[in-house]
Amino acid sequence: FDVKVTYVDIVAYVIAISLGVQYMLTKNWIINNLMGISFCLLGLKHIGLSSYRTGAILLLGLFVYDVFWVFGSKSVFGSNVMVTVATGVEAPIKLMFPRKQDGCGKLQFSMLGLGDIVVPGIFIGFLAKFDVKRSSSVENAPSKDKYLYFNVTMVAYVLSLVTTIMVMLVFHHAQPALLYIVPYILIASFGLAVYKGEVSQLLEFKVEDTLLEEVIEEEESIVEWVKGLIWPSETKKKAE
């Protein structure tokens, strides 16, 4: 169990602690967004999908979940639970974008939940892996097709966010972003597969899960480290 700390790590730790303390004291929206983006990147790095079907089921489930808690929760619980949580919890669980100032000069914000970034991002990341597999299996594939599924679905994702903002501005009501994100990216990705005649390849493509192996290796290294602290002589004998 060996952890190497560099000077860059130390500087990063100091900056992170400083930003964290500053956020606790001021609740600054810029620091909130920096922390939120960091959480998103961490989630995208460590979480992945094994298949297209898994991603589609996950997106459709969250689609129903998001729609209910925004539009249906008021009739059940007496208030819009999703909006209440998003506006009432002062934590970096969403990205905040200044919209206007009220009569007292206080900023009013539009918000985008981190789940509306991470979950579609995981799905789009899976499509990027499919692109790599697809381009490697085709000799002399055009460069424009190298990340075709990734690019098309990313454009669809951006358009879904634009649609969400436009509907929110027109109706002056909080919108569940996944209501627009899920149809856009599923129709874009699956529609492209139908157009290219690659539906079976997309549905059959699997990504091997290496997370369990990494966890087991890490646990074994921790066990060996603990054994070295308790029985140093036996550990030395094994090493010899």
Which is the catalytic residue, given 116, 131, 145, 209? 116
Active site residue 66: yes
Long-range CB contacts for residues 6-13, cutoff 8 Å, separation at least 24? none
Token reading at 13: 């730790």
Distance CA 119, CA 54 (A): 12
Q: Could you say which DSSP state residue 147 is in?
A: T
Active site residue 116: yes
Q: Whose structure tokens read 């998103």?
A: 40
Distance CA 168, CA 197 (A): 37
Q: Whose structure tokens read 């669809």?
A: 156
Q: How far apart are the first and last CA of the chain?
A: 18
Which is the catalytic residue, given 2, 66, 131, 145? 66
Burial code (b: 16+ CB inside 10 Å, e: under 16) for 105-115 equals eeeeebbbbbb
Catalytic residues: 66, 116
